[in-house]
Amino acid sequence: MNTLLLEPHNGVLHITLNRPDCRNAMSLEMVNELSSVLAQLDSQTRAVVISGAGGHFCAGADVKDLVTAGNQLQALNRAFGTLLQEVQALPQVVIVVLQGAVLGGGFGLACVSDIAIADHQAQFGLPETSLGLLPAQIAPFVVKRIGLTQARRLALTAARFDGLEAEQLGVVHFTERDPQALAQRLDDVLGQVLKCAPGANGRTKALLLASVNEPLEAVLDRGAQWFAEAVRSEEGIEGTQAFVQKRKPRWCK
């Protein structure tokens, strides 16, 4: 990997965006490498943690790619949207740790995470319109994260805001004031995630995402089917037996 650092540990894959010289701007190479890594995840990986090297998460698209893309600009832009779809659909729990610049594509990546933890001084924003561009692939995910009204305000002003406002808007779930507190919060969240059965988490996430767009009747029918399957599954049997026997289930780290 030229643009990512990978560190698997205890069922968690830590992915560091590693282009610190340009605040981890999202190049096409990074998009492709990240997509490749996610496609190779297996059931042993229960959570994915994405952070950035050098004190920044991601400053958005790499402008150099835009200049050299020529007639491939549309495909280049759409590739990032596909990546966001892939991240959002992962059965694993996706956690982002946000510091420094969380702009454009970095903001979009934060919006498809399951759990977002931010430094209170991190800088968020959608700067595209101030460059004469559009947040074309990011916009739908931002709307789903914070609602249409706030998304319109942020996209049409290119306003910058910090981690505290990001928490108020619902972009992030936790803000911390120093690196040690960020690390501790991540440990706490991972501890909670690893108490949950991975298969149950994956299907629960799929149901939650489906509830946004699909008819209620279809979601409830599928939920009933999956619930019955879960009760009879290896996880369901282990979980209920562990509860009765007053012990931790096997998946609990």
- What superfamily in CATH does domain 4-194 come from? 2-enoyl-CoA Hydratase; Chain A, domain 1 (3.90.226.10)
User: In the chain, where are the structural domains located?
Assistant: 4-194, 198-245
Strands (E), 53-114: 93-98, 101-103
Q: Is the pLDDT of residue 67 over 90?
A: no
Threshold 0.85, pTM exceeds? yes
Closest to 237 measured CA to CA, from 216, 219, 251, 225: 251
CB 50 within 8 A of CB 20: no
Cβ neighbours of 179 (radius 10 Å): 12
Q: Is the pLDDT of residue 253 over 70?
A: no
Helix/strand/coil (H/E/C) assignment for every residue in 152-170: HHHHHHCCEECHHHHHHHC
Tokens, residue 163: 């981690």
The pLDDT assigned to 34 comes to 97
Q: Provide mean pLDDT across the span 213-222.
A: 96
Q: Is the pLDDT of residue 105 over 80?
A: yes
**β-bridge partners, 102:** 58, 124
pLDDT band at residue 177 using 50, 70 and 90 as cut-offs: very high
Query: Alpha-carbon distance 102 to 126, whole Å?
Result: 9
Beta pairing, strands 174-176 & 115-119: parallel
**Which is more confidently placed, 70 or 182?**
182
Query: Alpha-carbon distance 143 to 135, whole Å?
Result: 11
